[in-house]
Amino acid sequence: MTSNRVVVYKGPLETAIEDIDYPKLEIPAEVAEGMGIKQAAPHAAILKVVTTNICGSDQHMVRGRTIAPVGQSLGHEITGEVVETGDDVLFVKEGDICSVPFNIACGRCRMCNEGKTGVCLNVNPARPGAAYGYVDMGGWIGGQAEYVMVPFADFNLLKFPDRDQALEKILDLTMLSDIFPTGYHGAVSAGVTTGSTVYVAGAGPVGLAAAHASQLLGASVVIVGDMNAERLRQAESFGCATVDLSTSGELSDKIAEVVGEPEVDAAVDAVGFEARAHGEGAGEQPATVLNDIMSVARVGAGLGIPGLYVTGDPGAADDNAKVGQIGVKLGLGWAKSHHFQTGQCPVKRYNRKLMNLILADKAQIAKAVNATKISLDEAPDAYQQFDQGAARKYVIDPHSMVA
């Protein structure tokens, strides 16, 4: 039987590659028992992983900022080649190359039928919503591996129409599993449209994806804020304006220097719960970005919040933040009649249309996020570099299939 190697969490700032069993056409026992369904999964497929990316959400676990146990497998951004299917899989065939939405969804429950696949009711007994290789998300094996099992394959998999074309554009297409739809969702939730002025907080991969998505949606100006000079240069490389939050001065004044007024039409939080206050050497203040975007978004504006917030953070600065309770100036947002959306991006809502943009050369997401190919064995070092602020999106190529 073919073996399988996977990236696992070994403790704060430590990952390793370990051998695990080759996937079976079975769902996790805890899901089967908790949901009262069969473990056998004739609806599933096994994929040979073509690419799998390191995500900022993974980095939260690796930093020890979640309740992830030692041994937690990692990886929810997966693109793969189908190598085996269950008897109930009708429309996905061996040899197909597919994008795997990071949301695991049954395609049968009320939420799935409403298009809210990020909060599927049948894939995680702990709470709505599940993902591969993530703490408290159903016990599904991670995809930073050589092989992975995908349940409800006909519903979850997005097949690329042409194998050769897919491999040629794989560094762009690999972003469809999470960050491109997530960034796009943040921009759409914020109401970005033709002529909008937009502020994106955070120049990590999701922030860069939100900035590129805002451009695709017709924004006139996209401003990206961060404290990392290298990441700000990456944002500038594809036409964004930037503000350096490590320097003194009010954010509204920095916005005004770009657009001529101290506010924008739409704002996106692509940072999440590990936000820091402004200024060089500033400490952690988890509500900083949420308060920032409310302060610079015009009256009646939308706020997109794809940045991750958690209910359990053992490394938080205070007891309230350890349970996800942070000092948001909600009164400010209420007074300005802001509307906002949080939660996982429902990837299936966007991934097919974004695929079409990539295949038609209308979107260059790999360039925007500085996609950088690495081997599976290089993943632990890449986690270290990412933690130190590298302006790269690391794409793991387990089988040397990326040109």
Question: 13: domain CATH number?
Answer: 3.90.180.10
Per-residue HEC secondary structure of 28-65 comes to CHHHHHHHCCCCECCCCEEEEEEEEECCHHHHHHHCCC
189-220 pLDDT per residue, tens: 999 999 999 999 999 999 999 999 999 999 99
- Residue 371 in domain: yes
Which domain-ending residue is among 326, 341, 356?
341
% pLDDT > 90, the chain: 97
Pair (165, 46) in one structural domain = yes
Pair (329, 196) in one structural domain = yes
Pair (198, 321) in one structural domain = yes
pLDDT over 80 at 49, yes or no: yes
pLDDT score, position 1: 52
How confident is the model over 230-236, as a mean pLDDT? 98
pLDDT score, position 279: 84
How confident is the model over 7-25, as a mean pLDDT? 97
Pair (187, 261) in one structural domain = yes
User: pLDDT class for 325, splitting at 50, 70, 90?
Assistant: very high
- Residue 403 in domain: no
Model pTM greater than 0.85? Answer: yes
80-120 pLDDT per residue, tens: 999 999 999 999 999 999 999 999 999 999 999 999 999 99
Pair (239, 351) in one structural domain = no
How confident is the model over 139-160, as a mean pLDDT? 98
Structural domain that includes position 305: 179-341
Pair (315, 171) in one structural domain = no
Pair (173, 188) in one structural domain = no
Instruction: Calculate the average pLDDT of the chain.
Output: 96
